[in-house]
């Protein structure tokens, strides 16, 4: 057994201070990854900094072409939000398909993005929409945020406070879930933006979420499923495990991308 000191800060500044003073502190959002990891003794933080008591961390708003979601918003909140459904329906759909009702009632968007699980859904939306991750000290573009499996640009004492999503003209998300875990074996988020099409893939890459440039080029010319005929991803960069080979996942990316475009249109 090991001892852990629990902190319940009332503000982001208090949370940062608690995290900075800890020997090995961890931020607690929804706890859907951290708490099971602690139970298995794969993590033993000296301090837990619980963000759930900070007012406004779960706020959702849209203005001037940007949808802003507080890091503390739960998956169920995002899925049910009329603001999200009106601004980016695909994002609400994505949130509603995460895990099961228990997970959606506890897990938070900030926790998911910060954890950057290679099979998580939200990283595909953040990267696919070209979102901006807002922390207590700066703003980080999606293209600079994800640095590999379970790795991000966040500093040791940095906390995500919100995520800003540019509202696209259309967007879609489709995933092929593992039947047991509901995590994405392959999930593809497509978006039609003023700067061209963006396509982000989760669940399949060896280094986590990534953009499919060949598909982006094809969709920038014509945002329809047929434009993706012949646009593929290299299987050499795909995960291969008991659930599916690299070649299988590469094929699924093409299939899911077409379905995502169809859902967007």
Q: Dump pLDDT digits (tens) for 33-68.
A: 898 898 998 888 999 999 998 999 999 999 999 999
Q: Which residues pair with 171 in a beta bridge?
A: 191
Domain extents for the chain? 5-50, 60-264
The percent of residues above 70 in pLDDT, for the chain, comes to: 99
Computed over its alpha carbons, how large is the radius of gyration of the chain? Answer: 18
pLDDT tens digits, one per residue of 144-194:
999 999 999 999 889 999 999 999 999 999 999 988 888 899 999 999 998
Class of domain 60-264: alpha beta
CATH topology for 5-50 is 3.30.43
Angle formed by the axes of helices 89-96 and 246-264, nearest 10°: 130
pTM assigned to the model: 0.95
Judged against a pLDDT cut of 90, whether residue 2 lies above it is answered with no
> Tens of pLDDT along 127-136?
999 999 999 9
């Amino acid at each position: 057994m090991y001892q852990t000191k629990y902190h319940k800060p009332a503000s982001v500044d208090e949370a940062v201070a608690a995290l900075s003073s800890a020997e090995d502190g961890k931020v607690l959002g929804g706890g859907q990854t951290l708490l099971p990891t602690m139970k298995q003794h794969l993590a033993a933080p000296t301090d837990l900094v619980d963000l759930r008591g900070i007012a406004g961390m779960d706020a959702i708003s849209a203005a001037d072409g940007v949808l802003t979601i507080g890091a503390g918003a739960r998956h169920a909140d995002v899925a049910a939000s009329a603001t999200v459904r009106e601004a980016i329906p695909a994002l609400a759909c994505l949130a509603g398909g995460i895990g099961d009702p228990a997970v959606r009632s506890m897990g938070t968007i900030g926790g998911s993005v910060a954890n950057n699980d290679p099979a998580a859904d939200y990283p595909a939306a953040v990267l696919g929409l070209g979102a901006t991750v807002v922390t207590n000290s700066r703003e980080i573009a999606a293209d600079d945020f994800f640095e590999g499996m379970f790795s991000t640009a966040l500093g040791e004492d940095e906390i995500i406070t919100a995520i800003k999503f540019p509202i696209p003209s259309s967007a879609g998300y489709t995933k092929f879930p593992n039947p047991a875990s509901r995590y994405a074996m392959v999930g593809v988020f497509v978006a039609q933006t003023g700067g061209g099409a963006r396509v982000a893939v989760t669940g399949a890459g060896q280094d986590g979420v990534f953009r499919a440039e060949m598909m982006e080029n094809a969709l920038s010319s014509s945002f329809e499923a047929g434009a993706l005929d012949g646009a593929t991803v290299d299987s050499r960069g795909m995960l291969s495990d008991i659930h599916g080979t690299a070649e299988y996942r590469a094929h699924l990316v093409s299939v899911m991308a077409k379905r995502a475009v169809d859902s967007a249109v």
